[in-house]
Each structure stands twice: as structure tokens, then as C-alpha cells.
Amino acid sequence: MFAYIVRRLLWAVVLLVVLSMVTFSIFYLVPLLGGATPETLAARYVGRAATPETVHLTAEKLGLLDPVPVQYWNWLKGVFVGASYDYGAGVEQCPAPCLGYSFVTKQPVWPELLDRAPVTISLALGASIIWLVAGLSVGVISALRRGTIFDRGAMGIALAGVSLPIFFTGLIALAFFSYKLRITAPGGTFVPFSENPARWAYSLLLPWITLAFLFSAQYARLTRAGMLETMTEDYIRTARAKGLPERRVILKHALRGALTPVLTIFGLDVGLLLGGAVLTEKTFSLNGLGKYGYDAIVNQDLPKILGVTLVAGFFVIMTNLFVDLLYGVIDPRVRLE
């Protein structure tokens, strides 16, 4: 098991380096292959009345005049040993891991990512707990009461949840609960957990519920389908025949068997969300990684794009590792070698 984990972690590093090379190529190399010049790239980061000299100076400052492999090497070096940045009135040392400086805001990328990560982590974890609990509960009950009004109603609401986009439900929820009824926090009022845990939860309650509404649908349907399948298995009949309480039969035996596909999806969903729930963060004005990445793309801020991509990739890799480890716990037939 330990060797398995170490191997996976080493592969994670390799994957992240490959990811960085691919991302770097897409944003730094492909435009040049398409006919752009360092100056035309730099022109995106200057004011509207910039002279050609200003554009050239900017291209030089941003390192765009160097060959792309040199730019990548300088960036990679910064990740492992740090870099320095001339801000005019002085030179600042950017300690490792230095993911560069924003082309637009001139701020170092890594501290900004660290600053925004708690928002996204809070949003993703809180919503995932709600949708997992809600989805599993509804799925189990629907499976046990198959064909009843509850089953049909729950699946109908699940369909609505998965069909309605977050920017619709989110804005409606804000307008109704936050500004009309005034019982939830307005948008953009995130309070860090370390500052006040209760207010942290209050500030995220509406985004959690709205996001969970979107995701719990598929978990309810997956759980229901899995339960319906496992409830017909022989070992369930055996468990009942042995006189086990029905609750134990369902929760310990049937649900456990139905969890594998749910876990797979859960790992993917949480991993992707940790990389940034763009629409949710934008709707609720949460300054998380998703919004950071979105703004980076809109502004074509390459260091930020690179930073967010790597962080998102890291989270996807780590959550998938976690899910794989969990398989071994949940399903004794799985041996991690």
C-alpha cells in the first residue's frame, strides 16, 4: 500500500510537469506558430495609446522576447528555486514555488492562488458533503420505495436540479433569499473559516445548497440504480435470511455495494470543483480559483492561466488517488498493488 501511494505521488509529479509543458505550449508557443510575434502578444498588456516602443519594452519585461523553451525553463526554475522580479523601485525575490508574476496585475501568482484556494475548497467540500448526503439519502429511499410518489417526485426534482444551470438558480436564489427575504448572505461576502467558522458557513450556505442542488440529482439517480441492482444480489437475500436488521442490510451491505460508481463520479466531481467552480464562483462573486482562472483567460494573463491549470490538475490527481485508496477500503476485492 505504501509503495502504491509513493508510486502514485511520483507519477503525479511527472503528470504535473507534462501538464505544465502542454499548457505552456498552448498559450506561449501556439500563438507564435500561428503568426503572432512577441510584440503582438505583448500588445494585449499595454494601454490603448501605447507606442511601439512601449510594446517592445513590455515584451522584454514579460520575457516574451526569449525563445519559448527558454521562457519555460525560466518558469520551471522559478517553481523549484524561486525567481526575482524587477518592480521598478526595486527587485523582489519570489521564493519557490514561484509561478511567475501576473502580466496584468504584476502580482506574484502563487500567493494569489493560495489566497483563493480556501474559498474554492470551502465551496467544493461543503457542497459535496451536502450533495453526497442528499443524493445518497434520496437514492436509497427511492430505490426502496420504487414506483411510489416519493420515487417519482424525487427523480423529477433531481431532473430539474441537473437541468437548471447554476447561473439561473444562483441568481434567483440570491434575489429571493438574500435580497428579498434577507435570510442568507449577499453575494461576495465570503468570511474565512479561520476568522469566524459560523459566519463562514453562513456566507457559503446559499452557494452550497445551490451547487448541491445541481449535483445531488445525478448522485440520487446513480445510488438508486446501484441499489436496485445490489438489492437483487444473492448476498442480500442471505443477509436477510440470517436475520440481520433491515437497516443493516441496506446501509452496510446493499449501499456499500452500490457505492463504487458513486465514488468514482464523486472523485471526479470534487477534483474538478476544487480546480474551480467557475460558474458558481462567478454567480456568487466568490473569489476562488475558478473565478481566478476565468479572469485569467478573459485577460489572457498567461502566468495566472498556467498557475490555475496546475493547481486544478493537482487537485484532480490527488482526489483520484484518494478515491482509488478508498476503493480498497470499501471493496475488499480491490487490492492496491
Partner 1 sequence: MNHSRSWRGRALAVAGLSATLVLAACGGGGGEAGSQQGSSSQGAQAAFNAASTSVVNPSDKKGGTLKFANEGDWDTLDPGETYYAYSWNFARLYGRSLMMFQSAPGKEGNQLVPDLAEAAGEPSDGAKTWTYKLRKGVKFDDGAEVTSADVKYAVLRSTDKQIFPNGPAYWDALLDLPSGYKGPYKTPNMNTDSAIETPDEYTIVFHMKKPFAAFDYLAQQPDTMPVPKDKDTGAKYRNSIVSTGPYKFADVQPGKSFNLVRNDQWDQATDPNRKALPDRIEVTLNVNADDIDNRILSGDLDVAVTAVGVQPAAQSRILQDPNLKANADNPLGVRNWYTSIIPTVAPLNNIECRKAIMYAMDHTAYQTAYGGVFAGGDIATTILPPSVPGHADFDLFPSGPDHKGDLDAAKKSLEACGQPNGFATNMGYRAERPKEKATAEAFQQALGRVGIQLTLKPYPQGDYFAQYCGLPPYVVKNKLGLCTNGWAADWPDGFGFLSQITDSRVIRPAGGSSNMSVRIPEVDKMLDQALTELNTDKRNQMWGEIDKRVMEEAVIYPGVYSKSLLARSKNASNIFVTDAYGEYDYLGLGAQK
Residues that bind partner 1 (CB under 8 A): 36, 40, 43-55, 57-58, 60-61, 87-90, 92, 105-107, 112, 157, 160, 169, 171-177, 179-180, 182-189, 198-199, 201-202, 205-206, 209-210, 213, 282-285, 287, 291-292, 295, 300
Listed in sequence order, the DSSP H helices in the chain are 2-24, 30-33, 38-42, 52-61, 68-81, 109-144, 149-163, 166-173, 197-230, 234-241, 246-248, 255-274, 278-283, 289-298, 302-330
If the CB atoms of residues 60 and 324 are measured against partner 1, the closer one turns out to be 60
CA distance 135 to 29: 44
From the list 169, 233, 151, 235, the residue with the least C-alpha distance to 206 is 169
Shortest approach of partner 1 to residue 276 CB, angstroms? 14
Shortest approach of partner 1 to residue 47 CB, angstroms? 4
CB of 226 within 8 A of CB of 152?
Answer: no
If the CB atoms of residues 189 and 320 are measured against partner 1, the closer one turns out to be 189
Tell me the β-bridge partners of 93: 84
If the CB atoms of residues 148 and 196 are measured against partner 1, the closer one turns out to be 196
Shortest approach of partner 1 to residue 60 CB, angstroms? 7
Shortest approach of partner 1 to residue 266 CB, angstroms? 21
Shortest approach of partner 1 to residue 130 CB, angstroms? 10
User: Using H for helix, E for strand and C for coil, what is the string for 28-85?
Assistant: HHHHHHCCCCHHHHHHHHCCCCCCHHHHHHHHHHCCCCCCHHHHHHHHHHHHHHCEEE
CB of 136 within 8 A of CB of 118?
Answer: no
If the CB atoms of residues 10 and 159 are measured against partner 1, the closer one turns out to be 159
CA distance 276 to 311: 9
If the CB atoms of residues 17 and 175 are measured against partner 1, the closer one turns out to be 175
Shortest approach of partner 1 to residue 237 CB, angstroms? 36
Tell me the β-bridge partners of 108: 101
If the CB atoms of residues 34 and 332 are measured against partner 1, the closer one turns out to be 34
